Amino acid sequence: MSMAHQPRVRVMVVEDSLVVRQLLVHIIASDPRLVVAAAVSSAEEALQEIGRVQPDVVSMDIRLPGMDGLEATRRIMSEHPTPIVVIADSIEDSSLKISMNALRAGALTVVEKPVGLSSANYAGIATTICTQLYIMSQVPVVRQRSFAPWREKATISASRRDLEWKAARPSVMGIAASTGGPPALAKVLSALPGDFPLPVLLVQHMGAPFMEGFASWLNGLMPLDVRLAQDQEIPSPGRVYVAPGDRHLLLSPAGTLKVSGEPPLGNQRPSATMLFQSIARSAGRRGLGVILTGMGEDGAQGLVEMRQAGGYALAEDDSTAVVYGMPAAAARLGGVNLSLPLDLIGPRILKLAQGDGE
């Protein structure tokens, strides 16, 4: 079916600044995939109108008069579950913290707020906003997930090598996520103690201006020390090294971190597949890989290579994943030893790190 015959995605814009609101309306109206269903200046007005407007996706400013964007996100997800894209000022610490908490409350992603038409990066920001609004409008969101009683299931029948794997205690862990990732990563990593015996290398797909704020937000939630990775750093146990914005994070054969500007892989930089491939090469059977919620297939091929090298891989189960894309692709390709719901991943990582694979 051609684009012309598809219904356009209906966007509700929530933004208190008249100038920015008009700019967002202009940006959205210029995209043939989108249409502005409503543009309001406060969270209260958004909550009042959302039931009538029934947008496919909400563009949410985070700093609003009265009720802020975080509380508005909570209320929308409780009363009228709708995909929410947070539009935030990337350089204000207070906005960053509220944005990250909005992701935890159910918003799907955060993108940079546009500035004037004459700005050098206006076109890139405008394209990113429209693409994210369109993509996120397709994500099914629900008030509250109900989980069936869980029985562990190995994604693939255990081979002899899998059964013997527990003899090799891991020396490093790689973890990756995309859409829905920040709250999932917070839950998994918060389950690990401050004396966790492995360094953790983390890839989260998110706009480059938000990565430092994301790392800082995660750091405040857990005993582990979370920081942006630096090139040639020696990774230490109990620390989480986050791939910086628009840079790959790799583990070098010497065991040091490599922050790389190599071209994107599968349109992703950082690439989860490149992280996992580097762990496969450098750590072999002492590599532990974890893949959580996210769109697309990034990470899948990398986990296949980790398993081929004798490493072990966990994936988030479809019962909890906001988007069962990346974990599904990894399982389909044979890159996963075990799929688990989110609550069980942290405890299982701890057991594996202690050399108890069963």
Tokens of residue 111, six digits: 């993108």
φ, ψ (nearest 5 deg) of residue 93: -60, -40
Query: Exposure of 258 by Cβ count < 10 A (0-12 exposed, 13-18 middle, 19+ buried)?
Result: buried
Instruction: Give the N- to C-terminal CA distance of the chain in Å, as an integer.
Output: 49
The answer to whether the beta carbons of residues 188 and 346 sit under 8 Å apart is: yes
The answer to whether the beta carbons of residues 248 and 260 sit under 8 Å apart is: yes
Task: Verify whether residue 298 is a known catalytic residue.
Answer: yes
Task: Verify whether residue 225 is a known catalytic residue.
Answer: no
Residue type, 352: L
- With b for 16 or more beta-carbon neighbours within 10 A and e for fewer, the 177-212 pattern comes to bbbbbbbbbbbbbebbeeebbbbbbbbbbbbebbbb
Kindly name the residue from 205, 260, 278, 339 that is annotated as catalytic. 205
Beta bridge partners of 202: 175, 242
CA angle 183, 138, 329 (to 5 degrees): 65
Task: Verify whether residue 205 is a known catalytic residue.
Answer: yes
Kindly name the residue from 56, 68, 89, 298 that is annotated as catalytic. 298
**CA–CA separation, 169 vs 159, rounded Å?**
18
Kindly name the residue from 178, 260, 278, 339 that is annotated as catalytic. 178
Strands (DSSP E) found in 165-221: 172-177, 200-204
Residue type, 330: A
The catalytic residue positions are 178, 205, 298
